[in-house]
Amino acid sequence: MNNFWMILSQSYINKFKTKAFIVTTLLIAVVIIAAANMEQIFSYFDDEEKETKIAVIDKTGTMYEPFKAQLAVIADDLIAVQTDKTENELKDEVEKGTYKGYLLLDRTADELPAATYKAENIANSETTSDIQQALQTLKTMEVAGKFQLTNEQIQMWNAPAAFETVALAKNAKSEEELMQAQALVYILLFFIYMSVIMYANMIASEVAIEKSSRVMEILISSVSPVKQMFAKIIGIGLLGLTQMGIWIAFAYVALSNQSEGSIVSLMGLKSVSASMMVYAVVLFILGYFLYATIAALLGSLVSRLEDVQQMMMPLTFLVMIGFFISMYGLSNPESTFITVTSYIPFFTPMIMFVRIGLLSIPLWEVALGFGILLAAIFVFGVIGARIYKGGVLMYGKSNSLKDMKKALEMSKDN
């Protein structure tokens, strides 16, 4: 048993000290802090005193002043400047940067406001949206004037229809809770997806490195292959929890400093429930053990590090498929397809988390999903241990899943 703990601690400590682990941990921590403070970061690059000017050619002779007034209400940093210059002259002004673009004000055959905006490029949708909104308001005012509507009548005309959604289920989530859950589920899904791929590849690579350096032959003489496999899985699993714990700590500090009006606060990420975090951690651990067991047996089949990625492709595809199904589930969590796939063990860690986060599903469904996942871990653990036991003794070019049969036969002989 002492050998088991020795391999476990070595798997943990050796990876913990690597530059790749330290750099990755710090890099993601910086990304978390940057994401939480994105508004402040963007504000440093925005010149608040800078005004955007657009030239206006008023072909009607009457629309400029009311349009300018409406534009000032909608966007105080977008200035409309009337000009008598020709379009060719204005093109040169736009190229020089004097104006962002120029606007041609005109009227339709029905005598309603119309406009054409020309600029170097139309990628800045905010500018065109502000111009369009000002023009729409001007049109509404003119039409209202023709019908001799009062200000009160105009307000009633523009007022949105009263609409409310009410969930009939007793424990159904409110609209605000759903928005919070979606944001949290999306973020945690990404972490589960990245972590499972990263740590599973780490296990497979470590086994392949030991085989290629012939260290495995020495280890087998003192520690059984099965103990080696589970020691590596648990050691790197603890490494993953350490890394996740560091990221969560950084996220907590970053979110706790956010103001009430920030995007992070509005999305509800400051008030993450403890139950959601517990579900996220448990599903992460179970998903990790399932994929790590498969990764260990796949890594035992190859003798060269460069073959690991090819052998890991099927596993990577499974994680990717689960992630993309989860993305679909964010917008349609009640789908029968999502319900069914949440009980497929390869997808359960991610898809079941979507259902838990967005729906009020019965406890027995959660327990069933967890039970299926645990059963799959046990089955793959037993099969994986046997394949691992034979696979670590296989050398030469071996990068085919057909070698599993050969590894199983070798495990029976040892």
Q: What confidence tens digit (pLDDT) does each residue in 294-341 have?
A: 887 777 777 666 777 777 788 888 888 888 888 888 888 889 999 999
Structure confidence at residue 266 (pLDDT) = 44
Sequential DSSP letters for 247-290: HHHHHHHHHHT--TTSHHHHTTGGG--HHHHHHHHHHHHHHHHH
* Token pair for 114: 């119309």
Query: How many CB atoms are closer than 10 A to CB 269?
Result: 19
Is the model more confident about 270 or about 133?
A: 133
Asked if pLDDT for residue 352 goes beyond 80, the answer is yes
Q: What is the DSSP letter of 161?
A: P
Asked if pLDDT for residue 216 goes beyond 80, the answer is no
Q: Which residues contact 402 (CB under 8 A, 6 or more apart)?
A: none
Asked if pLDDT for residue 343 goes beyond 90, the answer is yes
Is the model more confident about 130 or about 385?
A: 130
Q: What confidence tens digit (pLDDT) does each residue in 238-248 have?
A: 888 888 788 87
Q: What is the mean pLDDT of the chain?
A: 78
Asked if pLDDT for residue 120 goes beyond 70, the answer is yes
Q: Which amino acid is at 325?
A: I
Is the model more confident about 116 or about 12?
A: 116
Its CATH architecture, for the domain 50-158, is 3-Layer(aba) Sandwich (3.40)
* Token pair for 254: 């970053």
Structure confidence at residue 16 (pLDDT) = 84
All CATH 3.40.190.10 domain ranges in the chain, comma separated? 50-158
For residue 113, the number of C-alpha atoms closer than 13 Å in the C-beta half-sphere is 22
Asked if pLDDT for residue 25 goes beyond 50, the answer is yes
* Token pair for 375: 């059963």
Q: What angle do CA 214, 215, 219 make, to 5 degrees?
A: 125
For residue 342, the number of C-alpha atoms closer than 13 Å in the C-beta half-sphere is 28
Asked whether 215 and 372 are in contact (CB, 8 A), the reply is no
Element (H, E) at 342: none
For residue 200, the number of C-alpha atoms closer than 13 Å in the C-beta half-sphere is 30
Asked whether 385 and 408 are in contact (CB, 8 A), the reply is no
Residues 80-97 have a mean pLDDT of 87
Is the model more confident about 274 or about 325?
A: 325
Asked whether 356 and 366 are in contact (CB, 8 A), the reply is yes
Structure confidence at residue 371 (pLDDT) = 93
Structure confidence at residue 111 (pLDDT) = 84
Report the range out of 287-296, 307-316, 398-407 with the highest average pLDDT. 287-296
Asked if pLDDT for residue 375 goes beyond 90, the answer is yes
Report the alpha-carbon distance of residue 360 to residue 261 in Å, rounded: 28
Q: What angle do CA 277, 279, 282 make, to 5 degrees?
A: 110
Q: What confidence tens digit (pLDDT) does each residue in 35-70 have?
A: 777 767 766 665 544 678 898 988 888 888 888 888
Residues 14-34 have a mean pLDDT of 84
Report the alpha-carbon distance of residue 69 to residue 76 in Å, rounded: 10
Residues 168-190 have a mean pLDDT of 68
Residue among 337, 298, 300 nearest 316 (CA): 298
